[in-house]
């Protein structure tokens, strides 16, 4: 681990929801939830105002609606999110050639490699400069963590949220980690966390006190060695420059083999949803669905199915993974399950609705990933679809966005990122004066060069 806090972790604050608030003046300071709006939809991002009511990422949308019934529920605009992400990543690459994106809104940067920082003072200055540049270019805020390793930099950015900067001084790492819950460490998920808790280990400090041999006995050789090293604040992983993503996958290893076939099916569906969330965070869709099953005897089976076109629809991925599971004998028990997607492509507007339009060869259309409108059917049969939150233009009233549609009508709020809250009007979904529109920049052209600013800063213990 290096001697200076020159690894930076940036995490944009409630990214999708913050973009929507910046784009729509009427939603600023209000609860906003972005995600799939159908009965099987999940929350992609919730604004901080929505989080007050308990809404969280990956939560079923039905549960979110019960918790925050008055929030604005919007369909994602991935093209806009990706374009803003590219602006932010450009600012990171101006600091260093070593930038490791983790998703559209999150990345590591090696400040030392670019000569942007060599000690705590210069690292703090670089972090503050970055945050001000992001605010100037996009109008959004990001939280920055600075530390001597990737693990600690990510922990620092979590401590900095929202809209802050935290620097962990070298030499203070173990004291900082000791009281934190074991789930703070990378690779400690619910199953491992529960296993450690049953052994009386609930904090990072208790992991360090348990000793390496005890951890190996509890969680296995590879995982035990890694956990012990991280509990001692040892993390030598380098920042790796961006590489093309070949696949996106998730998997879980279970402390006790699963014998119940119904439970296996439930786990596969849950993993499929997690995999789709990672796809969307990375701004990707994919054609090939892969199922991985490790059985009780450690034999590992993989099955795959290639769709006609790329998808990011959780229902489609769940269904494909379920069909693959039907071909696997799980008699005797399952110790590991995984779901992945390969054959990746960048999002396109067509991708979002291809499955809803029945694009899968020989199959009926699935429930759309992003159905229109917050609660009602999207338009009359044969009518145009106006996804909630997406941009449109009216020949007389100008630029606006769809607040929702149903029963053959669409409600539009006419406003831009640079106006005040706009007026609301309702039209037939087939009104010839309505047409889809491209999103407007969050910052007016020419305004992103000057100004600046930053949020609160703090120094970690």
**Does the domain at residues 1-170+439-461 carry the CATH identifier 1.10.540.10?**
no
Output 122 or 331, whichever has higher pLDDT.
122
The residue ranges of every structural domain in the chain are 1-170+439-461, 175-231, 247-354
Q: Helix crossing, 15-23 with 78-95: angle to 10°?
A: 110
Token pair 């901080």 in the structure block, residue: 48
pLDDT of residue 79: 87
Cα(389)–Cα(400) distance, integer angstroms = 9
Residues 232-249: what's their mean pLDDT? 84
Residues whose CB is less than 8 angstroms from the CB of residue 394 and which lie 6 or more positions away in sequence, other chains included: 400, 412, 414, 425, 427, 431, 433, 434
C-alpha distances in Å from residue 24, one per residue of 41, 42, 74, 412, 440: 23, 22, 11, 12, 10
Output 324 or 78, whichever has higher pLDDT.
324
Most confident of 183-192, 240-249, 422-431: 422-431
Does the pLDDT value for residue 364 go beyond 60? no
Kindly tell me the sign of the dihedral angle through the C-alpha atoms of 98, 277, 70, 48: negative
| Least confident among 136-140, 234-238, 273-277, 381-385 | 381-385
What architecture does CATH give domain 247-354? 2-Layer Sandwich (3.30)
pLDDT of residue 352: 36
Does the pLDDT value for residue 83 go beyond 60? yes
115: helix, strand or coil: coil
Q: How far is CA 5 from the centre of its chain?
A: 26
In the CATH hierarchy, which fold is given to the domain comprising 175-231?
DNA polymerase; domain 1 (1.10.150)
pTM confidence score: 0.73
In tens, the pLDDT along 99-123 reads 999 888 999 999 999 899 999 999 9
Task: Examine domains 1-170+439-461 and 175-231 and report if their fold is the same.
Answer: no
Residues whose CB is less than 8 angstroms from the CB of residue 369 and which lie 6 or more positions away in sequence, other chains included: 36, 38, 41, 311, 312, 313, 314, 315, 316, 352, 355, 356
Output 400 or 194, whichever has higher pLDDT.
400
Q: Annotated active-site positions, please?
A: 106
């Amino acid at each position: 681990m290096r001697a200076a806090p020159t690894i930076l972790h940036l995490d944009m604050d409630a990214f999708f929801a913050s973009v929507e608030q910046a784009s729509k003046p009427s939603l600023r300071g209000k609860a906003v939830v972005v995600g799939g709006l159908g009965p099987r939809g999940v929350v992609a991002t919730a604004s901080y105002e929505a989080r007050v009511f308990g809404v969280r990422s990956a939560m079923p949308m039905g549960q979110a609606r019960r918790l925050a019934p008055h929030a604005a529920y919007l369909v994602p605009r991935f093209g806009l999110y990706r374009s803003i992400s590219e602006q932010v990543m450009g600012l990171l690459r101006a600091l260093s050639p070593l930038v490791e994106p983790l998703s559209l809104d999150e990345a590591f940067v090696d400040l030392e490699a670019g000569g942007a920082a060599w000690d705590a003072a210069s690292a703090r200055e670089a972090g503050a400069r970055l945050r001000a540049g992001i605010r100037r270019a996009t109008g959004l805020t990001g939280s920055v963590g600075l530390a001597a390793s990737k693990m600690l930099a990510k922990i620092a950015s979590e401590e900095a949220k929202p809209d802050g900067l935290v620097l962990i001084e070298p030499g203070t790492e173990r004291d900082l980690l000791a009281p934190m819950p074991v789930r703070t460490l990378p690779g400690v998920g619910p199953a491992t966390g529960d296993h450690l808790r049953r052994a009386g280990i609930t904090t990072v400090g208790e992991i360090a006190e348990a000793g390496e041999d005890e951890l190996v006995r509890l969680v296995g050789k590879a995982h035990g060695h890694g956990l012990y090293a991280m509990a001692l604040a040892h993390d030598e992983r380098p920042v790796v420059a961006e590489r093309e993503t070949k696949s996106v996958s998730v998997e879980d290893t279970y402390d006790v083999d699963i014998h119940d076939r119904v439970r296996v099916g439930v786990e596969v569906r849950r993993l499929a949803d997690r995999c789709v969330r990672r796809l969307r965070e990375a701004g990707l869709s994919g054609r090939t669905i892969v199922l991985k099953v490790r059985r009780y005897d450690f034999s590992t089976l993989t099955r795959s199915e290639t769709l006609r076109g790329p998808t990011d629809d959780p229902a489609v991925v769940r269904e494909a993974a379920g069909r693959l599971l039907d071909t696997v004998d799980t008699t005797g028990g399952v110790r590991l399950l995984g779901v992945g997607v390969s054959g990746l492509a960048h999002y396109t507007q067509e991708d979002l609705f291809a499955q809803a339009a029945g694009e899968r060869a020989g199959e009926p259309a699935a429930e759309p990933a992003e159905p229109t409108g917050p609660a009602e059917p999207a338009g009359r049969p044969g009518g145009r679809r106006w996804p909630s939150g997406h941009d449109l233009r009216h020949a007389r009233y100008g630029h606006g966005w769809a607040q929702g549609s149903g029963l053959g009508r669409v409600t539009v709020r006419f406003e831009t990122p640079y106006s005040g809250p706009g007026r609301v009007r309702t039209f037939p979904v087939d009104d010839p004066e309505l047409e889809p529109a491209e999103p407007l920049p969050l910052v007016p052209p020419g305004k992103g060069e000057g100004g600046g600013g930053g949020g609160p800063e703090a120094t970690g213990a």
